[in-house]
Chain A
């Protein structure tokens, strides 16, 4: 193997001369004897010469030879490429010219042995890897990467030096390392290849390394000879049942008797209300049943099977080991440490990805909560129907899409429409209900809850219970991908940007406009503001409308990536309240801080316990309850007399 590889490599350098000298047919004619009776030791130069000839036919000839389709016509002793055709064969001359047909009996197949076929295959790989067309070279590399075999290693190495395309050269070098670490007979070369992978963390590197550290579990009386990864402790690393199963597989112990089998066997052997001398009535404990079964075993009426005691004894007698499939310890330890390094780097990237996820979740919470922060934080009004305003916004988006087929335009129409619809709903609610309940926060909570259930049911009656689609425009499809691990979808980026816009808009509105000034004035001292000529009723109405309108826009944004149902808003309401309360009532920055904290927290908990989103929410709410113990007024708390205590 190594020899042929070296030969091919050596000849590769000579190839141009030979190629100029002869075409394939001539080389074959010259070495006719060797080709008809090839030997692995001596055929190398011939195949190398063929491979290097540059003749277009060399590829076909070598392929045919390896597939036993190179034939000798008995009549004239000439060589042809044969293709099965009906009962006979279609013949092609070595120079590519068609040469009629022949019956099977007229032909003698050349049958190279396995060793020779290996040399031919290697030469063929070399052939395609050095093909003038970059596309074919790439295809050859892909096929090797898909199905790596030891034979391809040497030709791949040989082809690297002559590769002219820098991209392909890099690919080849990378693939060469994978093949080396898997197949090179020299342990040092494999270790070197593993460490040469360096900081590469891509999936194919992990795929190449993982088989090296694959293990199997074995049971044995003493430590086996192979590359033992570790000794397993029963009860610590594997359960007793698993350990016993290993013993059964290794033929070291009889199969265990299941409770049902034992029961069946005992029932089958009831004689005069006793089994093995034990009365049936006493067989309501496991100990009595084992006793009866052992008696039956001794009598030979039932097959021997391990009872608990016997199984325990067998487990104690044997050792259990985890053995690497890969026999070379140097390689396994190198692979293990390389994987550990990769793990660390991947872990860091995961953390970055988690950070992105957390940010986008925080943006969603912020969007959902900011409207609430206005009504609850600024006006002190609890609006339990806030969630339904979010839903109304999303349904507005859905309805707009029914009439405007272009998704980009419909989105641009839907955002202001959603704002208008929920603004109107908010103003109506403020005028009709909330206005009468200022300073009665608990009654407001209950009344708005009444509105919430009514609205939710109305939406359900109108739009049905099934989820409605709110389709994002095409340019929001897909994701921004940094590498295998870190990526974020464009919709989430868009929501993030929207959240930032809202933050900016809200800050501008409150700090730089007349309306903001009046809102703050009414918030701080209603009577005083009224005596300065501000109409508090109008301000309250506008503030409430604004908060509701923002909820509508948030609804469109949330609807783009979540399902639009009549209950979607209700899913956000508790979280939104938590965001506002944790952040600190009455401060936009507080809402931002709250959203960031709750978003990150939820993602981190989900990361630690990936199986269950539900429990992540449970833990998050528990955390919030405890958090409020420490900071009852939220992260960004108003202090002193302004806090109103």
Chain B
């Protein structure tokens, strides 16, 4: 290893940042808020959300593609981040409305009236008029933003510590993370969870304090923020995986027992990664849900996390751009196919409805990718560069469950 510049070592990062910057510029110029208005505000939001999904897919690629830990819980961290920021958005927005409404009543509003009004507005739907204790910080953006990272981070830290110290690995860990996600989702579904049960939080697209700005502008701001976060995330993760740390975690993926005998505390590395990726997922959630406008417990159903794994697998795990490509293409295709705008395909007596059959196609194509193209879409780049895969007579590159398969390896 000779000491070269960061981009010289990682040319793909430079290309990625360039593409992302061009894309951001193009969307801005075509948007309704600041540009020609070629693409609608709702599509800008869809693109912004897609960038957030790409960010969480990066986190998934780090934990699964590089470290071999198939976590089925990262969308829970994503949604938790969204919930935490959603609490501030909803509280602050409701506060504006309540204060305005009360001021029209002749007297300036008292604190008690304001908090009572907010509580009734927010919690009337679940038959309560008290603000639960977990909303104690909801009035403050900095505090709630800190919580948006601290709560998922802490959950990941505690859960990871419990799981890794008892050496739960492979599919057991996957199932365990799935159970954690399910437990969290079921908890949030309750009305007395303090987060409005299955109603979730809504009206998140309205930015408190920016009531005058139109959604055309707000959507562009969030698009920029998402692009910035994705770019920073990509650079950070590239830096992490290209150094010795990346070397250690790839070694853990392929043969963690051997890494232990080299003296590396494997559990500490896994915990570090699990928490770091949970934080990235939470940050992505913080940016995603104000664009989505609504969050409810269905967002953290176990299936969401499995989709995340699907994106990474389809894009090609173990390469960061693969995760981004997978997340962007599958989620965009998904929104196209489920929009209901595609014409049905008549097949004799029945007609094929894309909304109904999209999941079937996705499921089966996913099986096909797993079976026939473990490199995913990212493997196409190798094809262009004419990089052959090593011939190892079908043996994976290490004894562990998460190790690379023969076809996945890059020489």
A–B touch (CB < 8 A): the answer is yes
| Chain A residues within CB distance 8 Å of chain B | 259, 263, 266-267, 270, 280-281, 283-286, 289, 382, 433, 436-437, 439-443, 445-447, 449-458, 460-461, 574, 577-578, 581, 612, 614-615, 617-618, 621-622, 624-626, 628-629, 632
In the complex the two chains form, is A453's CB within 8 Å of B113's CB? no
List chain A residues, Cβ under 8 A from B183: 617-618, 621-622, 625
CA A447 to CA B165, docked complex, whole Å: 29
Is the pair B166, A628 in contact by a Cβ cutoff of 8 Å? yes
A446 → chain B closest CB, angstroms: 6
Contacts A259-B113, A442-B171, A457-B356; A625 near B364 (Cβ below 8 A): no
**In the docked arrangement, what's the CA distance between A408 and B310, Å?**
44
User: Most chain-A Cβ atoms within 10 A of its Cβ — which of B106, B116, B162, B167?
Assistant: B106
User: Can you list 27 pairs linking A and B with CB atoms under 8 Å apart?
Assistant: A259-B112, A263-B107, A281-B108, A284-B107, A286-B112, A382-B175, A433-B371, A442-B68, A443-B374, A445-B171, A446-B313, A446-B366, A450-B363, A450-B370, A453-B359, A453-B362, A453-B363, A454-B363, A461-B357, A461-B360, A574-B178, A612-B190, A621-B183, A625-B159, A625-B183, A628-B168, A632-B166
- Option from B110, B171, B182, B370 in Cβ contact (under 8 Å) with A286: B110
Contacts of A632 in B (CB 8 A): 166-168, 172
Which of B165, B178, B402 gathers most chain A CB within 10 Å?
Answer: B178
With a cutoff of 8 Å between Cβ atoms, the chain B residues found around residue A455 in the complex are: 363
Query: How many angstroms between the C-alpha atoms of A237 and B105 in the bound complex?
Result: 37
Q: B174 in the interface, Cβ–Cβ < 8 Å? A: yes
Task: Known contacts A436-B371, A574-B179; decide if A446 and B310 are in contact (CB<8 Å).
Answer: yes
Q: Taking the nearest CB of chain A, how far is it from the CB of B256, in angstroms?
A: 12
Q: Does B78 contact A (CB under 8 A)?
A: no
B189 in contact (CB, < 8 A): yes
A residues in contact with B179, CB < 8 Å:
574, 577-578, 621, 624-625
A615 in contact with B111 given A442-B171, A461-B357, A629-B166 (CB within 8 Å): no
Report Cα–Cα, A621/B184, bound state, in Å: 9
Closest to B161 in A: A629
B186 interface neighbour in A266, A456, A614, Cβ under 8 Å: A614
B150: Cβ under 8 A from any A Cβ? no
Question: Quick one: which of B167, B175, B405 contacts A440, CB cutoff 8 A?
Answer: B405
Residues of B170-201 contacting chain A, CB below 8 A = 170-172, 174-176, 178-180, 182-184, 186-187, 189-190, 192
List residues of chain A with CB within 8 A of the CB of B172.
Answer: 581, 628, 632
Interface pair B357/A452, CB less than 8 Å apart: no
Report chain A residues within 8 Å CB of B371: 433, 436-437, 447
Interface contacts beyond A267-B107, A442-B402: sample of 20 additional A-B pairs, CB < 8 Å, sorted by A: A259-B113, A266-B107, A267-B106, A280-B108, A286-B112, A433-B367, A442-B171, A450-B364, A454-B359, A456-B359, A461-B357, A574-B175, A614-B187, A615-B190, A618-B183, A621-B186, A625-B163, A625-B179, A632-B167, A632-B172
Q: For A441, list chain B residues within 8 Å (CB).
A: 170-171, 401
Interchain nearest-CB distance for B3 vs A (Å): 36
Q: Is the CB of B110 within 8 A of A445?
A: no
A457 and B105 in contact, given A450-B370, A574-B182, A612-B190 (Cβ under 8 angstroms): no
Given contacts A621-B180, A626-B162, A632-B167, contact A615 B405 (CB under 8 A): no
- Shortest Cβ distance from A457 into B: residue: B359
Contact call B170/A442, Cβ cutoff below 8 A: yes
Does B81 sit at the interface, judged by CB under 8 A? Answer: no
Contacts of A442 in B (CB 8 A): 68, 70, 170-171, 174, 401-402
- B109, CB-defined interface residue at 8 Å: yes
Kindly state the separation between the CA atoms of A632 and B174 in the bound complex, as whole angstroms.
14
Q: CB distance A621 to B182 under 8 Å?
A: yes
6 A-B pairs with the lowest CB-CB distances in the bound complex, closest first: A454-B363, A450-B366, A621-B183, A267-B106, A457-B359, A453-B363
Q: Indicate if B309 sits at the interface (CB-CB under 8 A).
A: yes
Task: Please indicate which of the listed interface residues B159, B176, B186 has the most CB atoms of chain A within 10 Å of its own CB.
Answer: B186
Residue B233 interfacial (CB < 8 Å): no
Q: Does B290 belong to the interface (CB within 8 Å)?
A: no
Residues in A with CB closer than 8 Å to B313 are 446
Contact partners of B39 in chain A: CB under 8 A: none
Shortest distance from the beta carbon of A275 to any chain B beta carbon, whole Å: 8
B190 CB contacts on chain A under 8 angstroms: 612, 614-615
Question: Known: A441-B401, A446-B366, A621-B179. Is A615-B107 also a contact (CB below 8 A)?
Answer: no
CB neighbours (8 Å) of A437 from chain B are 370-371
Which of A450, A577, A578: most chain B CB closer than 10 A?
A450
Interface of A is mostly: helix
In the complex formed, the residue of A with least CB distance to B189 is A614
Residues of B within 8 A of A454 (CB): 359-360, 362-364, 367
State whether the Cβ of B396 lies closer than 8 Å to any Cβ in chain A.
yes
Q: B302: CB under 8 A from chain A?
A: yes
Distance in Å from the Cβ of A183 to the closest Cβ of chain B?
43
Q: How far is the CA of A433 from the CA of B368 in the complex (A)?
A: 9
- Do A618 and B186 touch (CB < 8 A)? yes
B397 at the interface (CB under 8 A from A): no
Give the distance in Å from the alpha carbon of A632 to the alpha carbon of B175 in the complex: 13
Question: Quick check: is B306 within 8 A (CB to CB) of the other chain?
Answer: yes
The minimal Cβ–Cβ distance linking B173 to chain A, given in whole angstroms, is: 10
CA distance A335 to B347 in the complex (A): 76
In the assembly, what is the distance between CA of A244 and CA of B310, in Å? 60
Q: How far is the CA of A628 from the CA of B190 in the complex (A)?
A: 26
Which residue of A is nearest B103, CB measured?
A284
Residue of chain B at shortest CB distance from A268: B106
Pick from B68, B175, B182: contact of A581, CB below 8 A: B175
**What are the residues of chain B within 8 A of A280 when measuring CB–CB?**
106-108
Instruction: Select from chain A the residue with minimum beta-carbon distance to B191.
Output: A612
CA A583 to CA B218, docked complex, whole Å: 52
Determine the residue in chain B with the shortest Cβ distance to A615.
B190
Q: Cβ of B360 and Cβ of A625 under 8 Å apart?
A: no
A574 to B309, CA, bound (A): 17
The CA of A466 and the CA of B94, in the complex, are separated in Å by 37
With a cutoff of 8 Å between Cβ atoms, the chain B residues found around residue A624 in the complex are: 179
Bound Cα distance A267, B105 (Å):
8
Indicate if the CB atoms of B370 and A443 lie closer than 8 Å: yes
Say whether B171 contacts A263, CB under 8 Å.
no
**B54 nearest CB across to chain A (Å):** 19
Residue in A closest to B165 when the chains form the complex, CB atoms: A629
Given the known inter-chain contacts A581-B175, A625-B162, please indicate yes or no for A284 contacting B359, CB distance below 8 A.
no
> Considering the chains assembled together, what is the distance between the CA atoms of A574 and B172 in angstroms?
12
Shortest Cβ gap from B399 to chain A (Å)? 10
Question: Chain B residues near A440 (CB, 8 Å)?
Answer: 396, 401, 405
Contact B306 A449 (CB under 8 A): yes
Residues in B with CB closer than 8 Å to A617 are 182-183, 186
Bound together, the chains give a CA A624 to CA B371 distance in angstroms of 33
Q: How far is the CB of B156 from chain A (nearest CB, A)?
A: 13
Q: Among A285, A382, A433, A578, point to the contact of B111 (Cβ < 8 A).
A: A285
Q: Shortest Cβ distance from A544 into chain B, in angstroms? A: 16
B131 to chain A, nearest CB (A): 16
Which residues of chain A are near B364, meaning CB under 8 Å?
450-451, 454
Complexed CA–CA distance, A165 and B365 (Å): 78
Contacts of A284 in B (CB 8 A): 107-111
User: With A259-B116, A581-B175 in contact, do A446 and B370 touch (Cβ < 8 Å)?
Assistant: yes
In the assembled complex, how far is the CB of residue A391 from the closest CB belonging to chain B, in whole angstroms?
A: 15
With a cutoff of 8 Å between Cβ atoms, the chain A residues found around residue B110 in the complex are 283-286, 289
A622 nearest in chain B by CB position: B183
Minimum distance in angstroms from B124 CB to a CB of chain A = 16
**Which residue of chain A has the shortest Cβ distance to B297 in the bound complex?**
A614
* Most chain B beta carbons < 10 A, residue from A437, A455, A577: A577
CA distance A441 to B396 in the complex (A): 12
The chain A residue sitting closest to B402, CB to CB, is A442
Q: How far is the CA of A577 from the CA of B362 in the complex (A)?
A: 24
Complex: A453 Cα to B68 Cα, angstroms: 24
Q: Give the CA-CA distance A540 to B303 in the complex, in Å.
A: 28
**Complex alpha-carbon distance, A281 and B103, angstroms:** 11
Taking the closest CB of chain A, its distance from the CB of B326, in whole angstroms, is 13
Which residues on the B side are within 8 Å of A259 (C-beta)?
A: 112-113, 116
